[in-house]
């Protein structure tokens, strides 16, 4: 079953594979003729010209008849040798050309299959839901898309062709040897069961060990990946020694698993070498014995020794094929583990209505699959198109979850969400996401220029539009201070931006596109209150008529919204304007009393500072 699944991954490459098999077959047949040239040559040298007609009788050699006719056209030994040399040279040139095409097709087969599988896997990972990505190990996923794909496709192409090569070589080696001395064929074949049995024992042992290698390598990759992405945190906590120790443990586990595999590999190859050499010695003994009994001549012994090589050496490769078969089974299981995850688009909606931006939550409830209690309980609210709404609440109260549901990253289990009176779950996921512009608290910037980062979701964005978006996001002044302005490279390989600058690039990025719904998920947390105000005023001045949802912990950010939704432990505690909520007992009033007082004190301090200075 696992094997069938493994081979299914090679679908679509049969023609290339058959072409490679045909080339291997022709190549190995021509190769099996090479020792016969030597046999013919020695026979010619040893033959005595006939007394009556001066002809040279060479006897039987299993070469193609057209070659024999070509050689026998001459009676001069030297001329025959010249003919043999010319024919051998032409044969080698032909073999070289075959080998070239064979290698080229093998390479193409491997690369094309790996490319197709990588794209299939990567494409499927894109289609997996938010929950999957939340729980996935990035290092492990990378390994599945790279090493596992390589292991699987190398087996399906290179190793499978090695197997064909093995059988074809055995067949032609045995076929040619049979004409020289059949006993040698039976003796050579008698040792094959021993080699095959050892290979099977080896495979059973190595399969589990390779599984362990894959697992330990994957957990080591995860440690490396986490450490590199979290290098700032590691340094901030002076945790380098602990991280190195963690890596050492994982590295040791991986090295131990490899060492275990290596010792089994060494035992296998050592014993295979021993069997092969024994086989060679037996064949030499049979040859010597046959010459003594005059059932074979010296030319036959020389040719048979070369041909026996065709029966002995390829069988040793069986171990590697079986070895890689074990690895490929494990790797393909890991690939299927991803491919068999249901796509988030399996239960998608089909509607793609023009969105105005009215949002209604009707008794919506939601529970994460791995939790006992519902997070959101009977959530009800109405947002009219073009309104600005703030959602405020304690940390963990479910604010981001509401937004994630709106983007269909999570599916609600109870109630209904309506967009312009259309049930959200009937609208296509990709479509609704394309209609919502989201800025997250910790936005991701690509290793590209500031300009490219702003224009990323709008490939045809004109420069004016990008600059306008940067102005609204209060980013223009910062960009002017960068050495290369908009062409400054940011992200992993470029200039490090501050948290607030990153957030503002992300805001500008969203503003470049005119989306009917805008969401700021704590997206102004890293900018100061004044910049926050500037951005919000610029947004209002732009008068996009977009529905804007602002999630925030900062009352001053929320207070100018058309309505404020106060969320408490997954339920709506209150909805109203700042004027209504700041006088009403509850969480909002409490927060306003604390934050408002602090803000006023702060403003007073600033004023005092100004008057002192003047």
Ligand X SMILES: Nc1ncnc2c1ncn2[C@@H]1O[C@H](COP(=O)(O)OP(=O)(O)OP(=O)(O)O)[C@@H](O)[C@H]1O
Compare residues 260 and 394 and give the one whose CB is closer to ligand X: 394
Whether the CB-CB separation of 58 and 47 falls below 8 Å is answered with yes
Cβ of residue 399: shortest distance to ligand X, in angstroms?
4
Beta-strand ranges (E) seen in 189-299 are none
Cβ of residue 225: shortest distance to ligand X, in angstroms?
20
Compare residues 401 and 563 and give the one whose CB is closer to ligand X: 401
Show contacts of 318-321: CB within 8 Å, 24+ apart.
318/166, 318/195, 318/196, 318/199, 319/198, 319/199, 319/202, 319/268, 319/269, 319/272, 320/159, 320/162, 321/159, 321/162, 321/163, 321/166
SS3 559: coil
Cβ of residue 540: shortest distance to ligand X, in angstroms?
24
Cβ of residue 367: shortest distance to ligand X, in angstroms?
9
- Label residue 364 left, alpha or beta by phi (over 0 means left) and psi (-120 to 50 means alpha): beta
Q: How far apart are CA 155 and CA 173, in angstroms?
A: 25
Cβ of residue 440: shortest distance to ligand X, in angstroms?
10
- Helix (H) or strand (E) holding 266, with range, is helix 240-292
Phi and psi of 353, rounded to 5°?
Answer: -75, 160
CB-count exposure of residue 204 (10 Å: 0-12, 13-18, 19+): exposed
Cβ of residue 398: shortest distance to ligand X, in angstroms?
4
Q: Tell me the sheet residues that pair with 312.
A: none
Closest residue by Cα to residue 72 from 80, 63, 61: 80
Strand order in the sheet with 388-393: 436-439, 517-521, 547-552, 388-393, 563-568, 571-576
Cβ of residue 587: shortest distance to ligand X, in angstroms?
13
Sign of the dihedral through C-alpha 172, 173, 174, 176:
positive
Site for ligand X, rule CB under 6 A: 131, 134, 368, 370-371, 375, 393, 395-401
Helix (H), strand (E), coil (C) string for 563-599: EEEEEECCEEEEEECHHHHCCCCCHHHHHHHHHHHHH
Compare residues 56 and 376 and give the one whose CB is closer to ligand X: 376
> Which stretches within 340-425 are classed as H helix?
399-406
Cβ of residue 504: shortest distance to ligand X, in angstroms?
20
Whether the CB-CB separation of 169 and 310 falls below 8 Å is answered with yes
Cβ of residue 221: shortest distance to ligand X, in angstroms?
23
Compare residues 293 and 371 and give the one whose CB is closer to ligand X: 371
Compare residues 397 and 501 and give the one whose CB is closer to ligand X: 397
Cβ of residue 391: shortest distance to ligand X, in angstroms?
8
Compare residues 242 and 368 and give the one whose CB is closer to ligand X: 368
Compare residues 24 and 397 and give the one whose CB is closer to ligand X: 397
Compare residues 131 and 137 and give the one whose CB is closer to ligand X: 131
Compare residues 69 and 134 and give the one whose CB is closer to ligand X: 134
Q: Tell me the sheet residues that pair with 142.
A: none
Compare residues 32 and 503 and give the one whose CB is closer to ligand X: 503
Provide the token pair at 243: 């991280």
């Amino acid at each position: 079953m696992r094997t069938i699944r493994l081979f299914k991954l090679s679908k679509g490459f049969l023609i290339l594979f058959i072409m490679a098999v045909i080339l291997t077959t022709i190549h190995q047949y021509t190769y099996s003729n090479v020792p016969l040239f030597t046999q013919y040559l020695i026979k010619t040298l040893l033959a005595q010209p006939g007394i009556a007609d001066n002809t040279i009788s060479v006897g039987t050699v299993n070469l193609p008849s057209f070659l024999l006719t070509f050689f026998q056209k001459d009676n001069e030994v030297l001329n025959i040798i010249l003919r043999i040399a010319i024919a051998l040279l032409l044969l080698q040139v032909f073999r070289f050309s075959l080998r070239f095409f064979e290698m080229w097709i093998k390479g193409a087969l491997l690369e094309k299959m790996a490319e197709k599988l990588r794209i299939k896997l990567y494409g499927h990972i894109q289609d997996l839901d938010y929950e999957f990505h939340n729980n996935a190990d990035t290092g492990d996923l990378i390994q599945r898309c790279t090493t596992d794909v390589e292991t699987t496709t190398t087996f399906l192409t290179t190793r499978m062709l090695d197997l064909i090569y093995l059988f074809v070589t055995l067949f032609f080696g045995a076929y040619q040897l049979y004409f020289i001395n059949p006993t040698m064929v039976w003796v050579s074949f008698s040792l094959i069961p021993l080699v095959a049995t050892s290979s099977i024992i080896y495979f059973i042992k190595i399969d589990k060990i390779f599984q362990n290698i894959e697992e330990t390598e994957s957990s080591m990759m995860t440690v490396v990946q986490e450490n590199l992405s979290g290098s700032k945190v590691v340094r901030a906590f002076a945790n380098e020694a602990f991280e190195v120790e963690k890596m050492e443990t994982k590295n040791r586990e991986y090295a131990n698993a490899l060492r275990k595999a290596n010792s089994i590999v060494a035992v296998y190859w050592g014993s295979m070498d021993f069997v092969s050499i024994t086989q060679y010695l037996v064949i030499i003994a049979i040859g010597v014995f046959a010459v003594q009994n005059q059932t074979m001549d010296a030319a036959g012994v020389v040719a048979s020794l070369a041909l026996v090589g065709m029966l002995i050496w390829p069988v040793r490769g069986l171990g590697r094929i079986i070895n890689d078969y074990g690895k490929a089974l494990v790797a393909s299981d890991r690939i299927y583990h991803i491919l068999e995850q249901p796509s988030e688009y399996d239960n998608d909606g089909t509607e793609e209505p023009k969105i105005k931006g009215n949002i209604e939550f009707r008794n919506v409830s939601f529970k994460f699959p791995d939790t006992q209690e519902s997070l959101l309980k009977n959530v009800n609210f109405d947002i009219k198109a073009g309104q600005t709404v703030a959602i405020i609440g304690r940390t963990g109260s479910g604010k981001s979850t509401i937004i994630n549901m709106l983007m269909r990253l999570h599916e609600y289990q109870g109630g209904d969400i309506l967009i312009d009176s259309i049930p959200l779950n009937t609208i296509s996921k990709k479509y609704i996401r394309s209609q919502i512009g989201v800025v997250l608290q910790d936005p991701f910037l690509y290793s590209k220029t500031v300009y490219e980062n702003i224009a990323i979701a709008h490939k045809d964005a004109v420069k004016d539009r990008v600059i306008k978006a940067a102005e609204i996001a209060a980013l223009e002044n910062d960009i002017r201070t960068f050495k290369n302005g908009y062409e400054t490279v940011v992200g992993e390989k470029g200039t490090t931006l501050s948290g607030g600058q990153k957030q503002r690039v992300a805001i500008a990025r969203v503003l470049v596109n005119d989306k009917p719904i805008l969401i700021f998920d704590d997206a102004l947390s890293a900018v100061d209150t004044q910049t926050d105000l500037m951005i919000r005023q610029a947004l209002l001045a732009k008068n996009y008529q977009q529905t804007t949802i602002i999630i925030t912990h900062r009352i001053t950010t929320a207070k100018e919204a058309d309505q404020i939704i106060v969320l408490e432990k997954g339920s709506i505690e209150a909805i109203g304007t700042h004027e209504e909520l700041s006088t009403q007992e509850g969480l909002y009033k409490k927060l306003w009393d604390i934050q408002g007082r602090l803000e006023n004190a702060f403003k007073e301090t600033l004023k005092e500072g100004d008057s002192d200075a003047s």
